Amino acid sequence: MPATCQTTTEPMTYFEAYPEHLPGVLHFTCPRLHATLTPESCAARHGLALGDTHGQFSACRNCSVGRVHATGQQATHDRLSELGSTGTMAKLCMRCGHQRDRRVGPICISCYNRELEAKKGCNAKGKPPVAYAPLRLRRVGLELPNGEIRWVLFEAQTWLEPLLRGLKAYPGAKLYDGQPSNDSPWNAEAQCFEYRDEHGQPLAMEVELQGNHQVVRYRKALPGELPAPVVASVSLFDPGFVAEWLRISDEGQSLGKEWRALDYGCSACRQGVMQARRRAGQLEVRCTGCGEATKQPMLREAAG
């Protein structure tokens, strides 16, 4: 098993290590590797470590300094403390967004059992239980570290799930809030919206199974081919905006004392989602990726 999380809050010091050859390029001394690194190479190592199952880069896997650098920020005391106190991703159920100690893979025991029941119900009776929202393919757009935009589908129950599972499947990737095409008009004949390329030609999609998800490729539709359906893109907000919205909406009233992840990506780092809780008349919102956080008084307490 990899070492436990390096929960240092000791800030890193940045300096020009090679002013003659690399003027202006900041480095820091990594206390784990005892090496001089740029934050960028640290972030890359951390990204590789997340996707590494052989333990080759395990020193960088659970490193809080690497996690901060992966968000493109400097590892200050505040940023490191935010991450240290969150411990968010380790316990997060990627389906319901609650933090649970007991989990099976990416989801909590409760979500797992409900899925199992639904599957059994399906096997025994030939249809899924009525009360259970069935899993369906949900899309997320990701910008890979090399700049490539990748569209992936996960069989998921909530909109939160593809965001978290996408970030996990592609270490170092960022949530992408664009669309495969800038043009997606209504097709009156087909009674649906469709993507069109720059020449006004509808786009079709091809899917390819890759591990636990499907990769979507959009291309020009062939004559008579079914166009790709238009789906909503990821919403990216900052914690302040989400807190303000939760304050005035009913969703804010449904929050409890425990952190719950919401299906909004973080516009600052694009590597985390918003988490919120309501405690002592305060609404708290933070990002699971960079730890960016805010706290605001609630407008009103829930009745009763």
Nearest to 291 by CA among 66, 7, 67, 42: 67
Rounded to 5°, the CA angle 38-41-42 comes to 85
Count other C-beta atoms under 10 Å from residue 27's C-beta: 20
Is the distance from CB of 25 to CB of 19 less than 8 angstroms? Answer: no
Q: Does 68 bind Zn ion (CB under 5 A)?
A: no
Q: Which is nearer to Zn ion, 19 or 87 (CB)?
A: 87
CB of 109 to Zn ion, least distance (A): 8
70 in contact with Zn ion (CB under 5 A): no
Residue 152 sits in the site that holds Zn ion (CB under 5 A): no
Pick out residues in 153-172 that bind Zn ion (CB under 5 A).
none
Q: Looking at 47, 141, 180, 289, which residue binds Zn ion (CB under 5 A)?
A: 289
Q: CA 286 to CA 294: how far, in whole Å?
A: 6
Least separation in angstroms between residue 203's CB and Zn ion is 31
244 burial class (0-12, 13-18, 19+ CB within 10 angstroms)?
middle
Task: Name which of 73, 22, 65 is nearest 45 in CA terms.
Answer: 65
Residue 45 within binding range of Zn ion, rule CB under 5 A: no
State in angstroms the smallest separation of the CB of 31 from Zn ion: 24
Stretch that binds Zn ion, among 44-52, 77-85, 87-95, 238-246 (CB under 5 A): 87-95
Give whichever of 64 and 184 is closer to Zn ion, judged by the CB atom. 64
* Contacting residues for 54 by C-beta, under 8 A, at least 6 apart: none
Question: Minimum Å distance from CB 195 to Zn ion?
Answer: 29
Contacts to Zn ion from residues 105-144, by CB under 5 A: 108, 111
**Hey, which residues between 218 and 277 contact Zn ion (CB under 5 A)?**
266, 268-269, 272
Binding of residue 83 to Zn ion (CB under 5 A): no
Size of the site for Zn ion (CB under 5 A): 13
The two tokens of residue 100 are 């649970």
Q: Which of 170, 182, 219, 159 minimizes the C-alpha distance to 70?
A: 170
By the 8 A CB rule, do 71 and 289 touch? Answer: yes
Task: Please say which residue, 67 or 150, places its beta carbon nearer to Zn ion.
Answer: 67
Under the rule (CB under 5 A), what is the footprint of Zn ion? 93, 95-96, 108, 111, 266, 268-269, 272, 287, 289-290, 292
